[in-house]
Amino acid sequence: MKDTSDPSDALAEEAEGQHTEPNAYSEIIRDPGIPFIEFVTIIAMIMALNAMAIDVMLPALPAMGDALNIIEENNRQLILLSYLIGFGGGQLFFGPITDALGRRKVMAGGLALYSLASIAAIFAVDLDQLLLERVLQGVGCAAARVAALSVVRDCYTGRKMGKVMSLVMMVFMAVPVIAPSIGQAVLLFAGWRWIFTLLLLAGFGMLIWTVLRLPETLTPEKRRPMELSTIIGAYKIALTTRVSLGYTVGTAFIFGGLFSFLAMSQQIFVDVFGLGNLFPIVFAAIAIAMAGSSFTNAQLVEAIGMRRLSHGAAVLYTVLGFVVFLISALGFENFWVFMILTAIIMMSFGFMGANFNAMAMEPLGAIAGTASSVIGFISTLGGALLGYMMGQLFNGTTLPLGLAFSIYGLFAIGCILYAERGRMFHALERT
């Protein structure tokens, strides 16, 4: 009989117990206590606070750079990176807390911090202060994100979880469609500081909604004590479960491409292609393509499977990224060609993001909070750093972005092969 005195061994047995039948299609569905549409919308809007905090800033970066005396244009990207550092790094610590205290307290605390940091950012007097407030915004959103994903895992597994995450991503992707336009509209009538007022209202609104409506999904008997050995054991399981690790690191690489696009998009569309104030409209068109693919994924995932859809998207993402790189390297840059290729690449992201995350989370239901934090930490912080690296290579062309899509896509495919032991495109979901 195996000794389970080591907490990590006990957690391992629990995790493995959820992932032992390769041919099983069994799913766990628990009633979240509120209507399904409201449940998906709450989770999506909490996740969307993250997109709002990034995308609404894009049109304002030049004005913020001028106001805060940022001389080097590429250093404006620090306003995005500082938030992503807080968001990615903060997630690592909130998983064990949600597993010990429950989801609602952590979610409410995170939303409160997000709101307070937004207030402080309104009154920032220099770049250093603004970057600090952006980090705190990210930490607050990280807590809410970890709790939100844990709630989803508490209630759903398997392809049903994949469908829920796709619907969440569909609503989530509506924010990048409108956020840059909102930011541009604010700049037309007021200063960039009013953008943080919008973030304050969004964060506080979600705080009230979740406190009033979203029930606790982690029952007291399933909570884990905040003991160092238990926490280390949970991290060990999250980092040594092959499927989870492979798809988590793979997510970091596809996020690297996404964050490279976010870091360079304003400079590419305004400086390279000269779109000026039309930038939010073009950005919205690409975001609509991403939202459409997330909706399509939600409709297809239960019939086709997460693996077939996401693996095919990874190949498309990589191939088209190489095409963008090649066109730029040959000096044939054209706005419409770039726009179409980038829109398709972003559409492929819609078939990867939710599915990769669901497949990484699926075998770790016993430690959902910790699993969500580890996955979020690696994928977000890793993706942010990868995106920043490529963003700093911006040279007035689209070549660095094509390089990001192609190289990071190849690494993501390598992670798939690691997770699936050399296989791709097989249909069976292991629940």
pLDDT band at 58 (very low <50, low <70, confident <90, very high): confident
Note the pLDDT tens digit of each residue in 103-139.
Answer: 899 999 999 999 999 999 999 888 889 999 999 999 9
Note the pLDDT tens digit of each residue in 280-327.
Answer: 888 888 888 887 887 788 778 777 888 889 999 999 999 999 999 999
Classify residue 425 as left (phi > 0), alpha (psi -120 to 50) or beta. left
Classify residue 241 as left (phi > 0), alpha (psi -120 to 50) or beta. beta
Alpha-carbon radius of gyration of the chain: 21
Residue 161 has pLDDT above 80, yes or no: no
pLDDT, mean of residues 352-363: 84
pLDDT, mean of residues 243-257: 93
Using H for helix, E for strand and C for coil, what is the string for 62-84?
HHHHHHCCCCCHHHHHHHHHHHH
Note the pLDDT tens digit of each residue in 391-406.
Answer: 888 888 999 999 999 9
What local confidence, expressed as pLDDT, does residue 27 receive? 53
Residue 23 has pLDDT above 60, yes or no: no
Mean pLDDT of the chain: 83
Residue 20 has pLDDT above 70, yes or no: no
Nearest to 42 by CA among 113, 181, 194, 145: 145
Determine what percent of the chain is predicted with pLDDT higher than 70.
Answer: 89
pLDDT band at 198 (very low <50, low <70, confident <90, very high): very high
Nearest to 93 by CA among 108, 106, 112: 106
What local confidence, expressed as pLDDT, does residue 373 receive? 78
What local confidence, expressed as pLDDT, does residue 78 receive? 86
pLDDT band at 216 (very low <50, low <70, confident <90, very high): confident
Positive or negative, the Cα torsion across 167, 170, 171, 173? positive
What local confidence, expressed as pLDDT, does residue 172 receive? 67
Domains of the chain by residue range: 32-212+227-419
- Give the DSSP letter string of 153-207: HHHB-HHHHHHHHHHHHHHHTHHHHHHHHHHHHHHHHS-THHHHHHHHHHHHHHH
CA atoms within 13 Å, Cβ hemisphere of 421: 3
pLDDT band at 179 (very low <50, low <70, confident <90, very high): confident
pLDDT, mean of residues 35-49: 88
What local confidence, expressed as pLDDT, does residue 31 receive? 66
**φ and ψ at residue 282, rounded to 5 degrees:** -65, -45
Instruction: For domain 32-212+227-419, give the CATH superfamily.
Output: MFS general substrate transporter like domains (1.20.1250.20)
User: For residues 412 and 216, what is the distance between their CA atoms, to the nearest angstrom?
Assistant: 35
User: For residues 86 and 251, what is the distance between their CA atoms, to the nearest angstrom?
Assistant: 18
What local confidence, expressed as pLDDT, does residue 204 receive? 96
**Cβ–Cβ < 8 Å for 48, 273:** no
pLDDT, mean of residues 411-419: 94
What local confidence, expressed as pLDDT, does residue 159 receive? 67
Q: Is 236 helix (H, G, I), strand (E, B) or coil?
A: helix
pLDDT, mean of residues 359-383: 80
